[in-house]
Structure 1
Amino acid sequence: MASWDDVRRIALGLPETSERPSYEGVAAWRVKDKAFVWERPLRGKELEAFGPAAPEGPILGVRVADLGVKEALLADDPGLFFTTPHFDGYPAVLLRLDRIGVAELTELVVEAWYARAPKRLAAAYGTETTGPEG
């Protein structure tokens, strides 16, 4: 299963990515100052709302392309992906980091990076990783 070291390695391997604490003091990874993945512990009201069913362990926030992708992920694997009212109407999901493999995590982090990277940077990276044939 994946760890914070995996998140860090994958995120920082993407062009123009930096790591710095979010306003809450937890780790966040950004491309051109736009967060695309971040550590997201549950807050008091969220823990109360979940009650005994509150997810335990490390939680990663992941930006997604749009609300359709968010809904698809939530429906596809509710044991891995979840959300809270804080993220209603926002294209992001939360995931239980200790329940995801490194390959799937890599795919999600790269997709999150593409969702936030400037178009020119994303296009240049896509050409670099796939070659001129795309």
Structure 2
Amino acid sequence: MPVIDEVRRIADDLPGSEERETTAGPAWFVRNKAFVWECRAWPSIPAELREIIERELVVGVKVAQSIDAEALREMHPDVFLAQTTRWGEPKIAFRMGGIDAEHLEELIIESWRVQAPRYLRRELDERMGFAES
């Protein structure tokens, strides 16, 4: 069963990433902007989503645009959840049990890129052997 340590391993390796314990659980920030977090079953979340979050590990990530979240939901409605809370939009929450390791890494890195400043994105690209952006 997927665990939060898989998220931690990926997020901690990104430049400028900082893990913080929040009232909702662990969350990772870059330059004080959240990019990945464990979701909690807040009372404001619709009951059917709260039940899922109470039963299994659900993680949220930032996305560049709301349309990106909609596309993920349409492709994999059994994995990507409908809107959880309004704060931090645009974002998407997903069931860790439905994500493979490669897709998890892609989601976290892309979320980090949405929040990271250009100089940190450039640092990661150089580390990964990509040309300057």
Q: Same fold (TM over 0.5)?
A: yes
* Unmatched tracts of structure 1, length 5 or more: none
The one-letter code matched in structure 2 to 1:54 is E
The answer to whether the 8 A contact 1:2-1:101 is kept is: no
Equivalence for 2:90: 91
Q: Within 1, Cα distance between the matches of 2:34 and 2:3?
A: 19
**Which moved further from structure 2: 124-133 or 112-121?**
124-133
Greater fraction helix? 1
Deviating beyond 3 angstroms after TM superposition, the runs of 4 or more aligned structure 1 residues are 131-134
The one-letter code matched in structure 2 to 1:9 is R
TM-score by length of 2: 0.86
Aligned-pair CA distance for 1:46:
2.4
TM-score by length of 1: 0.85
Aligned-pair CA distance for 1:77:
0.4
**Cα RMSD, aligned residues only:** 2.3
The answer to whether the 8 A contact 1:65-1:91 is kept is: yes
What are the residue-to-residue correspondences of 1:36-115 with 2, within 5 Å? 36-46=35-45, 48=47, 50=48, 54-55=51-52, 56-84=55-83, 86-87=85-86, 90-115=89-114
Shift of the 18–99 alpha-carbon distance from structure 1 to 2, 3 Å rule, reads same
Q: Within 1, Cα distance between the matches of 2:88 and 2:109?
A: 22
The answer to whether the 8 A contact 1:2-1:105 is kept is: no
Aligned-pair CA distance for 1:89:
8.6
> What do the CA deviations read for 1:86-111 (whole angstroms, capped 9, x no partner)?
23892101111122111110000000
Query: Which structure carries more relative contact order (alpha carbon 8 Å, separation 6+)?
Result: 1
Aligned-pair CA distance for 1:128:
2.5
Shift of the 131–88 alpha-carbon distance from structure 1 to 2, 3 Å rule, reads closer
The answer to whether the 8 A contact 2:28-2:36 is kept is: yes
Q: Within 2, Cα distance between the matches of 1:30 and 1:89?
A: 13
Aligned-pair CA distance for 1:16:
1.1
Paired positions, count: 131
